Structure 1
Amino acid sequence: SFLRGKKWLHRMLAFYMTNCPRFQNFNQLYSVSSSGSVADIDIQMHSVHVEFMSLVETELFKEISAMGISEERFVELLDSSLQNGDETVERLHRELVVYRNFVDFGLMMQQKYTELYPTSKVSTKPEKLTSNIRICRVLWDLENVQVSAALGGIKTVMQLQDFLKKQDLMGPGVDTRITAFFNPFNKHISKKVIEELNKASVELVCASSKREDADRKLGIRINQEMQLLNPALTTFVIISSDQDFRQHMQLMSNAGYKVVIVHDAKHESWRNTLEMHASLSFEWGQVVQVP
């Protein structure tokens, strides 16, 4: 059916990536909730569920409209087919009912988390690094916030490093790593820029041409780093204007990590959304100081 097809999964990937980390321990939360109720577990989980249901309805009615059927007519046909015992329609109805159930939705989102953010199976509770060296992880969504054409790759990285030093996030006593995530076949990212970033010792993580794959890999890296790094000693610098990372930033912030967002958002509401869960925020133009 549509709700299980590739087209549906492709449309919903960004939603799953943004929201499923919140549900990573859903089964544990549900099992310890008082009187078997999930009402007080996490109001934001319920908000995500409401948003999901809205998306399901929107996408479903898009498909219905494409078939030339009105919403009213679809409801009439659905009711009629259910009364007549149509197996296909009954199966569709059961799937929709499952999505409407909060517990089933939460378990589904937990499963999505394990699929999209796989972690090492060597230990279910990895020990966090206990070194006293401070750590800075710069995660750069290169497709979203690109290298300054006026500066080029090497000079852009030099400006970024100067910024990190001014924020005491690079230098003696700080383990700093800059990682750029990108699709190497993206026509907006030249081979020259990639070569320059490599020369500037930027870790390059190549994504496939699949939509949102770079974002997915950046999200996986965040999850992996959180499994290992001590929140008291670690700062994450996210370079992106993509609002889909707001959930990751909230999780990092809630876990005690310092989160710095560097963005190129044009509108105030967009900026406010990005900055909501960050300890500090900066505009990309301020950081690279384009002449």
Structure 2
Amino acid sequence: MGGVAGSRLDEEWESHRPAVFGAAYRLLGSVAEAEDVVQDVWLRAAAADLAQVVDLRAWLVTVAARSAYNVLNSARVRRDAYVGPWLPEPLLTGPDAGHRVLVDESVSTALLLVMQELPPPERVAFVLHDVFELPFGEIAGVLGRSPVACRKLASRARARVTTARRRPSASRAERERVLNAFRAASEEGDFARLVELLDPDVVYVADGGDKATAARVPVLGRVRVARLLARLGTRRPGARMHLVEVGGEPGLATYRDGALVWIDTVDISGGRITAFRRVANPDKLRHAGHTRAS
């Protein structure tokens, strides 16, 4: 890499990298795969003539989307063979996070799950247009479709996402209050309080990927979920639960003897947990567990 183009990339890369990573992560739901896309984008940009590129950020995000789109087909095959429920790889987004990423509600676990249900073309069109504000003419080049077709894809995706956004959602303060109460009940072994903090129709989903002990099917109902959570709780020697930020929202990370064992994210409505999601697959915790809790 050399000349004006190389110098421009060297100067601007770090400021655009969060957008490149953010686009890939929203599309793939995997930190590891998003990092691979970032590396691919860097190599492609280093080999390209950027002198005529007016908007480098948009160009890099478009390249990231094209690379992620190519990954999506193979990812779907792997997903079909995945053991147990699949959840997005947790992305820590607090002050001490290992990745800089553009944070909004589209990196929350709940919306990532909605986007993962969309067909890949709809997902790409929505992320590029609604999150990164790219024109449909550029999106057409990624998907190999007309701008009009891409507009329709984004519209269908937007309708699904809008439905999810209309569900009652707790404020950040309410989330932190409920999670802190849940942590206290877990640490104290207060089963009655655990039940009280769960919605009667709560759904518990765990992702162990056949590499960690986890329920293979969702668990329904607050008494059943409370029993499961109490059995797996933090009243074990060396266990600690910490409030963390996951995808821009409060979550919980549990450590044993300083090693991260799972990350929990929740949906909360009316002061109770309506959905409880636990990622215990160690492969999905590798990037979140770069530090050890004291």
Q: TM-score range by the shorter chain?
A: under 0.3
Higher-Rg structure is 1
Length-normalised TM-score, structure 2: 0.25
Q: TM-score, normalised by structure 1?
A: 0.25
